[in-house]
Amino acid sequence: MKSSHLPEIDTLSLKEQIAQMVVVRASGYLFDHEIKYPQWESPAAKLQHLISDLGVGGVILLGGSAAELALRSQQLQSWAKIPLLVAADIEEGVGQRFSSATWFPPPMAIGAVAQKNLDQALLYAEQMGAIIAQEALAVGINWILAPVVDVNNNPDNPVINIRAFGETPEIVSQLTAAFIKGAKNYPALTTAKHFPGHGDTAVDSHLELPLIPHTEERLAEIELAPFASAIATGVDAVMSAHLLIPAWDEHLPATLSHKILTEQLRHKLQFEGLIVTDALVMGAITSRYGAEETAVLAVEAGVDILLMPVDAETAIEAICDAVTSGRIPPERIRASVERIWQAKGKVFEEHRSTGAQEHRSTGAESQNSPCPLVPLSPCPQVPSSFYQIAQPASFETVDRILRDSTQAFGSLPLRQEKLINSRNLILVDDLLDCKYLSRQAPAVTIPQQLGYRTQLGDSRSNLPIIPSGEALQPTLLQIFIRGNPFRGSAGLTQVVEDWFKTLLTNGELQALVIYGSPYLKNQFLPFLPPEIPCISTFGQIPTAQAIALEILFANNPSTR
């Protein structure tokens, strides 16, 4: 990218204008042989064609380290004639998707703090927004696809779950506003998702089309309130949800509905920023509509940005044809490009004009300041801006959120005489895709130091469950389960349920630690005898593991 100057819209052809409305998926890795999702992420030659020749307006990145991403984002911008929007799903921080950067606990951890101390939770949410925005800019991300503002009032929700701030519109609205307020200290775009609210579903829209059966009055009271709060706070974009909502549109999902995106979001809620689709490769859309018709319907509905269309070139051509045939008026395209220009102007021009200014405070004031961060450099470069990544003050905030939100039950700490000949049984969603667990993870090493034997399993495992009365051994059961897109379930897997019941029946369950969904704790606690300790933490990251086990083994020197 040679300059941040945006050309006059009238100098662009119709096809070039439409291309600016498309954001494609790209690997965060620099080299093609490292691509993890080839069905979605194009190799370098194809990606360069989409950016340089076709002129797509942006990319959404996944994978790689923060350091590599800083180079990758520069590479992608160098291919672009018009500056790119560079987006990422970093709801829990840059470190959630790109290793080495700060990884926060899920937003629901802050919601749990809010139930005890709302002011402290608001401070945490604001710090979280500020730190994510600063670290994003340091690695070249200028569009944060967060916060999640869904109200997760359905415990069986397989896709939102702990990604939400909470279960009530009041808490979600306030924490949403605080997050956006923190992020607004930096010229990065924020996104409220998933409109008009994905919290009360038991279906994963990555796989199928969920239906929200509620009345308009109920939608206004629960689902829409956090979006209204986000809009009032100045959120830059709103992401649509792939949901069918008969109260507003009996036929088309929200992403493709003019009644929902234009009449409700644009007109009634008076949102003037970018409307972006959720990924158009998701099953709720791809299984029902062809690639071409999906793109056209989305634009007709009022969408400004098409995120991850099945085929970018096909989508652009289909919209071009719809304009030339008269189905879509050219003014509809122009309006979207003007909003995109406004967003890009904020990202690039404000970054140039405000980046050199002193920004907030240093880490020394981190306890009271909403933004305990060092100043943002005028033009983030590698490696000069990299001091902004993973600062001690950021890790301190992560630690405080986890400590304030972790819950403990039963007889604590675990008595040392119970540790002899014990087993550390760790059950996760998927051992093949488990970034938070390694040989060095506290969930493994801390029990190991105390003499535990480690055993691992996941939903695919066929671990032998020993019948009652045969070679019993005390077992620390550690469970990692949370809502995960594309997996379709955030609840108990059969493996976890079988192990819990067997250990409890055999008298082998020594202690229980749950990382992730609090709804598992609610299912287990009624069956736990009061002498069996239970720790529940929203986080799954190593810091969460260390804190949980520190509480469990508080009197043992090996955990200090």
Q: How confident is the model at residue 1 (pLDDT cuts 50, 70, 90)?
A: very low
**Does pLDDT of 502 surpass 80?**
yes
**Rounded Cα–Cα distance for residues 487 and 207 (Å):** 8
In angstroms, the Cα distances linking 2 to 6, 77, 78 are 11, 8, 7
Identify the CA nearest to 226 among candidates 274, 180, 260: 180
Q: What is the pTM of this model?
A: 0.91
* Distance separating alpha carbons of residues 311 and 101, to the nearest angstrom: 31
**Is it the case that residue 372 has pLDDT exceeding 50?**
no
When pLDDT is cut at 50, 70 and 90, the band that residue 357 belongs to is very low
CATH 3.20.20.300 domain residues, the chain: 89-369
**Better-scored residue on pLDDT, 235 or 386:** 235
Average pLDDT, integer, range 155-179: 91
Residues annotated as catalytic are 206, 278
Centre a 10 Å sphere on the Cβ of residue 94 and count the other Cβ atoms it contains.
Answer: 30
Q: Where in the chain is the domain with CATH 3.40.50.10870?
A: 406-559
Q: Tell me which of 233 and 415 has the higher pLDDT.
A: 233
Residue 364: its pLDDT value, please?
Answer: 32
Are 520 and 481 spatial neighbours (Cβ–Cβ below 8 Å)?
A: yes
pLDDT of res. 160: 85
Parallel, antiparallel or unpaired: strands 306-307 and 274-276? unpaired
For residue 535, CA distances in Å to 106, 257, 335, 448, 492 come to: 17, 44, 52, 18, 17
pLDDT band at 353 (very low <50, low <70, confident <90, very high): low
Write out pLDDT tens, residues 243-260: 999 999 999 999 999 999
pLDDT digits (tens, 9 = 90+) for 113-130: 999 999 999 999 999 999
Edge-to-edge strand ranges of the sheet holding 306-307: 143-144, 85-88, 58-62, 22-27, 306-307
* pLDDT given for residue 312 in this prediction: 97
What is the CATH architecture of 406-559?
A: 3-Layer(aba) Sandwich (3.40)
Q: Which CATH architecture has domain 89-369?
A: Alpha-Beta Barrel (3.20)
HEC sequence for 56-72: CCEEEEECCEHHHHHHH
Geometric angle at alpha carbon 545, from 544 and 551, rounded to 5°:
90
Diameter of the chain measured on Cα atoms = 80
Given a cut of 60, whether residue 330 has pLDDT beyond it is: yes
Mean pLDDT of the region 432-439? 90
The pLDDT of residue 379 is: 39
Mean pLDDT of 146-174: 91
Using CA atoms of 370, 374, 380, 386 in order, give the dihedral in degrees to the nearest 10: -110
Find the range with the poorest average confidence among 224-228, 283-287, 547-551: 283-287
How does pLDDT run across 126-159, given as a tens digit for each residue?
A: 999 999 999 999 999 999 999 999 999 887 776 7
pLDDT confidence bin for 519, thresholds 50/70/90:
confident
Q: Which of 33-42, 212-221, 375-384 has the lowest mean pLDDT?
A: 375-384
Q: Could you give the percent of the chain with pLDDT greater than 90?
A: 73
**3-state class (DSSP) for residue 407:** strand
Q: How confident is the model at residue 461 (pLDDT cuts 50, 70, 90)?
A: confident
Q: Is the N-terminal amide bond of 196 cis, ω within 30° of 0?
A: yes
Going by C-beta distance under 8 Å and a sequence separation of 6 or more, which residues neighbour residue 6?
82, 83, 341, 344, 345, 348
The pLDDT score that the predictor gives to residue 154 is 82
| Selection from 319, 311, 433, 281 nearest residue 42 by Cα | 311
CA distances from 214 to 124, 167, 205, 217, 259 (A): 32, 16, 17, 8, 16
Alpha-carbon distances of 203 from 208, 213, 220, rounded to whole Å: 7, 13, 22
More confident residue, 555 or 88: 88
Report pLDDT digits (tens) over 307-328.
Answer: 999 999 999 999 999 999 999 9
User: Tokens at residue 373, please?
Assistant: 């961060």
Query: Comparing C-alpha atoms, which of 134, 28, 137, 17 is closest to residue 82?
Result: 17
